[in-house]
A and B are shown apart, each in its own frame.
Chain A
Amino acid sequence: MKVSMPRWFYQLASPRWFYSFTGKLLPWFGLATLVFLSVGLVWGLVFAPADYQQGNSFRIIYIHVPSSILAQSCYMLMAISGAIGLIWKMKIAHIIAQVCAPIGASIAVMSLATGAIWGKPTWGAWWVWDARLTAMLVLLFLYIGVIALHAAFENKASADKAAAILALVGLVNIPIIKYSVEWWNTLHQGATFTITEKPAMPPEMWIPLLIMVLGFYCFFSVVLMGHARVELLEREKRSDWVKQLIERY
């Protein structure tokens, strides 16, 4: 039985097509980022009502939650594009996986930093050994491992494949790590702190949060495409289309 992939999938594999396609997408995503982030930030930081317990300090949620969500989905994207690169030997997928790693690591750092800033007034400490904090820290370690492994290889093709395997191993392990850490926390200390549950959050509070999440995803796409295009040019610098591109400018 022959299974054929859709046409766009093969087109995506062509570096030249990818370059021109993302070039067309970039301004739109940039515009969306600008709109979502400015609307979300102003709404969240100025107009949304203050929390009845935490007052205004809760407003960091508009940075913290989107970055935490994004840090996790970025790892998924990295591992999945690594797998696509391994299976279909697609250069672009490996490039995406490679540029995902440092971006994801910095987003994880942002999530940890904003969490610490939020934790100080709320819990009275910059860091607590809470399950979710620890899981995010381990995610950062996984990112660091992928970055370090990729950097250690001199041959880019081997580096791509090795990093993809490590990312996949990490992806399989993430749920195990997450649940073991959750269990460890509840077993050892009991719930001294619970991250403020937000079931009864009014719409004035969560709509800006949703806009911020969308804005973060758009921002991530812009950064990802930008880095991927640079990496693509770097890797394809000997090919004709890149030479033509350079001559045109």
Chain B
Amino acid sequence: MSFFYATLKRELLLVFRHRSDIINPLAFFLMVAVLFPLGVSPDPTFLSEVASGVIWVAALLACLLSVDGIFRSDYEDGSLEQMLISSESLWAIVTAKVITHWIVSGFFLALISPLVAMMFFLPEPAYPSLIASLLLGTPTLSLMGAIGSALTVGLRKGGVLISLLVLPLYIPVLIFGAGTVQAGAMGLPIQGYLALLAAILVFSLMLAPIAIVAALKISVRS
């Protein structure tokens, strides 16, 4: 367990030394959200209708953008190989990396999401449901994204490919996440949605690390 914490500390330290790694996904999130009023309509009633979907799609894209880098620098300098041949638990390494990615792309994003929600005239009662759904849904996005990242880390052109692999897997989280916010905006109970998001999270927390480790082994060997 101390190994897990040591890895987590290393990863977090690396991220906080590169501040742009934290700021870029958040800036990307804001910019994508801004495109919708510009491209479709600035009408407040329209915006409040589509707010839940737009915020969730923007969050999903921001996560996708940053997920490509989870294993890349460690792969390029060879430390990933050392991690794979070490006797320590690979599960711990992978989970620590995914948690770090989630803190950067999910946790902070959930914290600034009310800003976008305000710009989109989302009704105020929906704010807690927005934050709760992002907090519960984005870890799943990080886990699924890490599978795609692990599969493509050995390839020179990861970018578009990783979106093709991962986006279809994001659909359930998008549906339930945006559904939570809509239910919250209409004053309906959101516990059912949150329970489903949590169930998907637990499920992917169990299975995704297995796939990530297997994928990393293939990528490093090739």
Partners in one complex: yes
Interface residue ranges, A against B (CB under 8 Å): 86, 138, 141-142, 144-145, 148-149, 152-153, 155, 157-158, 161-162, 165-166, 168-170, 172-173, 176-177, 180-181, 183-184, 187
Known A165-B214, A180-B175; contact A153-B155, beta-carbon cutoff 8 A: yes
B155–A152 CB distance below 8 A = yes
B151–A162 CB distance below 8 A = yes
Known A152-B157, A152-B161, A170-B169; contact A180-B214, beta-carbon cutoff 8 A: no
A158–B165 CB distance below 8 A = no
Known A155-B222, A172-B207; contact A141-B176, beta-carbon cutoff 8 A: no
B171–A181 CB distance below 8 A = yes
Complex-state Cα separation, A86 to B217, whole angstroms: 12
Give the B interface residue count (CB, 8 A). 27
Complex-state Cα separation, A187 to B180, whole angstroms: 12
- What are 5 A-B pairs at a CB distance below 8 A? A152-B161, A161-B218, A169-B169, A170-B169, A180-B172
B165–A149 CB distance below 8 A = yes
Residues of B within 8 A of A183 (CB): 175
Residues of B within 8 A of A180 (CB): 171-172, 175-176
Q: Is B19 among interface residues, defined by CB-CB distance under 8 A? A: no
Residues of B within 8 A of A153 (CB): 154-155, 222
CB closest chain-B residue, reference A141: B168
Known A141-B167, A161-B218, A176-B172; contact A152-B211, beta-carbon cutoff 8 A: no
Secondary structure call for the A interface: helix
Known A149-B151, A155-B222, A176-B200; contact A166-B165, beta-carbon cutoff 8 A: yes
Partner of A187, one of B169, B179, B218: B179
Residues of B within 8 A of A138 (CB): 168, 171
Residues of B within 8 A of A145 (CB): 164-165, 168
Nearest 5 Cβ contacts at the A-B interface: A158-B222, A180-B172, A141-B168, A184-B175, A145-B165
Residues of B within 8 A of A187 (CB): 179
Partner of B151, one of A166, A172, A177: A166
Residues of A within 8 A of B221 (CB): 158
Residues of A within 8 A of B214 (CB): 86, 165
